[in-house]
Each structure stands twice: as C-alpha cells, then as structure tokens.
C-alpha cells in the first residue's frame, strides 16, 4: 500500500507531500485509515531535532484517530471498521518488568509513533494492535485526537502522583496539554490555578474550572507565590527558572515536569530537603491509562478546545503552534 504523507526533508524545514510503501502487515498489527491527527508541540521539537533523535525525511504526528482497514490474524480485541486512536507509543517489548506491570510507557523497547517510524500526518498508519485504543462513542474524532497524547500526558501524573480533591494544583503553560490539565484537575476536585504568560487566556481558564489565574509575564510574580501549591504541573514548551516554581511548592509538595523544552532542572537543595519536596517527571501514559482517560473524558464531557486545519495546510498549523496562536490544540483533518 502507498501511504500519502507530509514530511520535512531537513531540520525545521517545511513539510512537503511524501509517499512511502507500508510494510507487509504483521499478524499482531493493524492498519488505520487516518481521519484526524493532532499537532503536539513534541512534533515541533522533533521537526527542529531539539531532542537529537530525528531522522529525515521526518513525518510527524502521534495523536492519530481513524478506522481500522486491515487487521492481522492474531488481532482479537479489535476488528476492521473499529474507530481507534494511537498516541506517542505504538509498540513495546511486552516482556520487561514495566510492560508486564502495565507501565509500557517506560519500556526501553518502545516504538515511538513518529520517531522509529513515519507518523500520523498521513493517510494511513500501521502498528502493533496493543497500542491502538477504541474511541468511546461519546467522543468526537477531532476532539479525541489531542487526548491520545496531550490528554493522557496530563491525566497520568494526576493518577500516578495521587492528586486529591483537597489539593491546590497549579498548571503552568495553558497550551494543548495545559488547558486539558486544568479541566482534569478541576474534575478531580482540586483547587486549580492556571499560570500563563497569556493574559487573554484568563476567561477561558476560569470557565474550565480554574479558580485562580496568574499572569506570569510580569517579573517577580512567582516570588510572591512562595509555599502556595501542593502540586505544580509544568506543561511549558520552553525553559523557565524552575527554582522560582519549586519555591512556590508547599512542604511535602511536588513539582512535576512534563514539558520537553527543558534540558536541566536546577533547584536549590535546602527547600527540597527541609520541606521534603519532590521534583518528578511524567511521560505519556500506558494503553490502559489511555483507555481510562478516554472513558473519564467521555463521562465527564471533557474535550479539548481545537482549531481544525486541512491536512494539506499542515504548515499553517505548525506555524500557528510555534507562535502560540492556537486555541488550544491544532487538529489536522484528512
Ligand atoms: P503548546 O500547545 O505549544 O503549549 C505550550 C504552552 O507553553 C504555550 O501555550 C504557552 O502557554 C507556554 N509557553 C510557550 N513558550 C513559552 C515561553 N517562552 N515562556 C513561558 N511559557 C511559554 O505545547 P503542548 O503540545 O501543550 O506541549 C507542551 C510541552 O509538553 C512540549 O514541550 C511538549 O513537547 C511536551 N510534551 C511532553 C509529553 C510527555 O509525555 N512528558 C507529552 C507531550 C508533550 P501560555 O500562553 O499559557 O504561557
Ligand atoms: Zn505529544
């Protein structure tokens, strides 16, 4: 099968039409006809080779929704015609201590949807069926796309780090991930603060359940918030002065790094030691976590706010994300 995709031929280049031949379908694989694919900022970090792992031609895209058009003989839990989604991960070793305990997202044998193969800015995508999740009927396909990476990436730390309704939770960066984090943390019953450099995001953040909005564009803002939050979730695509954010965490609290725009996190040790604070990280989510997040989203009617772009206008979508103009997730439509 010929797959019609969009690829960058070089670092930070524009995407151009690109065709490749899909490999023969494996017994445990499915082939998906893609209807929608979200533009995650990780696609842009990869396009710019900011993580040093990009191979060109590079076909981005890891928030895939579509219908199964072919299924291998060993695939039992899905069938041709099913509407499914695939996120960042599209394969794992299935045997390590992490895979067998449902933590496939940290398997070192991970297949990454748009790193180890051509991604979802395309007509079709083929992968291990264990990493495709059925989309609940209550979720629209365009809305479901950003949940496959953005949604699970902010939902999983809330479960992993045990967010409780009595906690004060701050979300830093109200973009694709951050706006979903505000919605989920509010649905978990937490007292949510949106911390943003874009004052014009305030009204929507409050509408989604944030009780407070902090405009962080003014110098010295974070210093006034010392010892305020139980949990800070960083979803920013750039590097900030993380020590200022660490100081805004209460004793016993946690600063959770999710954004990939940061190479090093430098924080002073005394508040960490004396207040038993934690700096942690969080990385996507396992297939079972994606399934749980989709069900929770359908039940609580949590959907991203999206802007649609035709697949052929992919470069316009990427430009808008780079310029922080999208409200709040760009979704490509085939
Ligand atoms: P996005 O939609 O572009 O949103 C990022 C937000 O960060 C922006 O909307 C902006 O929010 C804030 N921001 C951007 N530049 C900034 C700057 N110079 N200073 C301060 N704030 C800035 O990106 P996304 O798709 O949500 O992804 C966010 C980050 O998470 C990216 O680094 C991405 O690679 C990473 N990511 C990680 C995982 C994981 O598993 N850990 C998964 C997916 C994505 P305001 O306008 O509100 O300030
Ligand atoms: Zn992503």
**pLDDT value at position 327?**
98
Binned at pLDDT 50, 70 and 90, residue 272 comes out as very high
Of 44, 151, 237, 263, which is best to mutate to test ligand 1, by the most ligand atoms within 8 angstroms of its C-beta? 237
Angle at alpha carbon of residue 308, lines to 303 and 309, rounded to 5°: 155
What percent of the chain is predicted at pLDDT more than 70? 100
The rounded Å distance from CA 288 to ligand 1 centre is 25
Of 236, 240, 257, which is best to mutate to test ligand 1, by the most ligand atoms within 8 angstroms of its C-beta? 236
Binned at pLDDT 50, 70 and 90, residue 50 comes out as very high
Write 89-93 long-range contacts (CB < 8 A, 24+): 89/113, 89/131, 89/284, 89/287, 90/117, 90/125, 90/127, 90/128, 90/131, 91/116, 91/127, 91/128, 91/130, 91/131, 92/128, 92/130, 92/131
Angle at alpha carbon of residue 133, lines to 316 and 21, rounded to 5°: 60
**According to DSSP H, which parts of 188-268 are helical?**
202-207, 242-247
For residue 82, give the DSSP letter: -
Residues of the chain within CATH 3.90.180.10 domain(s) are 2-140+303-333
pLDDT digits (tens, 9 = 90+) for 20-29: 999 999 999 9
The rounded Å distance from CA 12 to ligand 2 centre is 17
Fold of 153-282: Rossmann fold (3.40.50)
Whether 30 shows a pLDDT value over 90: the answer reads yes
Q: Give buried/exposed letters for 278-305 (b at 16+ CB in 10 A, else e).
A: ebeebbbbbbebbbbbbebbbeeebbbb
The mean of the pLDDT values for the chain is 97
Q: Is 156 in the pocket of ligand 1 (CB under 6 A)?
A: no
| CB atoms inside a 10 Å sphere around CB 204 | 17
Binned at pLDDT 50, 70 and 90, residue 262 comes out as confident
Q: Is the pTM of this model over 0.95?
A: yes
Class of domain 2-140+303-333 as given by CATH: alpha beta
Residues of the chain within CATH 3.40.50.720 domain(s) are 153-282
Whether 263 shows a pLDDT value over 90: the answer reads no
**Rounded-to-integer distance, Cα 247 and Cα 87, Å:** 33
The rounded Å distance from CA 259 to ligand 1 centre is 6
Mean pLDDT of 180-194: 98
Q: Is 51 in the pocket of ligand 1 (CB under 6 A)?
A: no
**Cis-peptide, bond into residue 57, ω within 30° of zero:** yes
Q: Is 238 in the pocket of ligand 1 (CB under 6 A)?
A: yes
Mean pLDDT of 205-229: 96
């Amino acid at each position: 099968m010929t797959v019609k995709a969009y690829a960058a031929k070089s670092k930070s280049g524009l995407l151009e039409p690109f065709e490749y031949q899909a490999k023969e379908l494996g017994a445990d694989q499915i082939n998906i006809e893609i209807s929608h694919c979200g533009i995650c900022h990780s696609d842009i970090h990869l396009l710019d080779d900011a993580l040093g792992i990009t191979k060109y031609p590079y076909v981005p895209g890891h928030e895939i929704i579509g219908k199964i058009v072919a299924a291998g003989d060993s695939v039992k839990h899905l069938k041709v015609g099913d509407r499914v989604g695939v996120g960042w991960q599209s394969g794992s070793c299935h045997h390590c201590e992490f895979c067998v305990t449902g933590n496939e997202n940290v398997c070192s044998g991970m297949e990454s949807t748009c790193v180890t193969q051509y991604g979802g800015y395309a007509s079709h995508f083929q992968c291990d069926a264990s990493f495709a999740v059925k989309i609940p009927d209550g979720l629209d396909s365009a809305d479901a796309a950003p949940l496959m990476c953005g949604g699970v990436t902010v939902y999983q730390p809330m479960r992993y780090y045990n967010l409780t309704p009595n906690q004060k939770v701050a979300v830093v960066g109200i973009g694709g991930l951050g706006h979903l984090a505000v919605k989920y943390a509010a649905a978990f019953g937490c007292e949510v603060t949106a911390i943003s450099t874009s004052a014009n995001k305030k009204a929507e953040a409050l509408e989604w359940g944030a009780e407070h909005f902090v405009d962080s564009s003014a110098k010295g803002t974070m210093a006034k918030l010392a010892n305020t939050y139980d949990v800070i979730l960083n979803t920013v695509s750039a590097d900030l002065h993380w020590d200022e954010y660490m100081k805004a965490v209460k004793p016993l609290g946690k600063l959770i790094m999710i954004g990939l725009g940061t190479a090093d996190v430098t924080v002073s040790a005394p508040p960490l030691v004396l207040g038993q604070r934690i700096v942690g990280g969080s990385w996507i989510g396992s297939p079972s976590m994606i399934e749980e997040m989709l069900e929770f989203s359908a039940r609580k009617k949590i959907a991203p706010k999206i802007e649609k772009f035709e697949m052929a206008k992919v470069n316009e979508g990427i430009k808008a994300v780079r310029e922080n103009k999208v409200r709040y997730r760009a979704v490509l439509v085939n």
